Amino acid sequence: MSSGKTVKYKHISFSPELHILYFERQQGNQAVPRQGGCSLGMSLTHFNEQKVTVDEWEGNSGVKRRHPINKSSGCSIEEELQVFDADSRWRLLEQAGVEKLNSEEGIECDEIRISRQECGCYCESCCLETCSCAINGITCHSEDEIACFPCSCSEESCKNPEGRTEYDGETINNAREVIIKRENEKLESMITT
């Protein structure tokens, strides 16, 4: 039954020790908060580190997991989706010792938030002369048919010569599953050859 091929296995191992780095909180400049105000960031270098075993961390950290854990990030869904309003972000920075905010970041974030709202066309029946999407040589786009966002035209009324694209979450999820399946099949064939 042997084909004469040597089976090679790739192994992944994890250390039983966690290496935890602690960073000072500071005003960020890589994100644009949806709710206004400044963004949160962290310093480029850590100020403290700790090494503990997984058992020590789980037993002594005081963290009680009440919500499902996302295996890729190690965070509960609630922790990943936590949103701070502008006042809460300012209080966190104040507690971290930040005394003065860079006001330019707030202005830049406001400009970006406004520009994100100003997208798509506002015509009900697109034509080459008036449709901002057609004028710029791009397709009209719909993410929400009920709210008509970002383009206000409907599938029936759109006359954009570039066409119209509708967001279809089901098609995207199906494509993602096909890609994951293909990658898993490649990985399995690498292990057996």
What integer pLDDT is reported at residue 146 of this predicted model? Answer: 60
Sign of CA dihedral 40, 82, 179, 142: negative
Mean pLDDT value across the chain: 78
Categorize the per-residue pLDDT at 126 as very low, low, confident or very high, splitting at 50, 70 and 90.
low
Question: What is the per-residue pLDDT across 37-75, written as a single tens digit (0 to 9) for each?
Answer: 888 888 899 999 988 887 787 776 544 444 444 444 444
What integer pLDDT is reported at residue 32 of this predicted model? Answer: 86
What integer pLDDT is reported at residue 112 of this predicted model? Answer: 87
Give the predicted TM-score (pTM) of the model. Answer: 0.47
Q: Are the CB atoms for 78 and 67 separated by under 8 Å?
A: yes
Helix (H) or strand (E) holding 41: strand 40-53
Q: Outline where the chain has alpha helix (H).
A: 54-60, 77-80, 86-95, 103-117, 132-135, 169-192
The DSSP call for residue 5 is P
Categorize the per-residue pLDDT at 3 as very low, low, confident or very high, splitting at 50, 70 and 90.
low
Q: Which two tokens stand for residue 193?
A: 């050859």
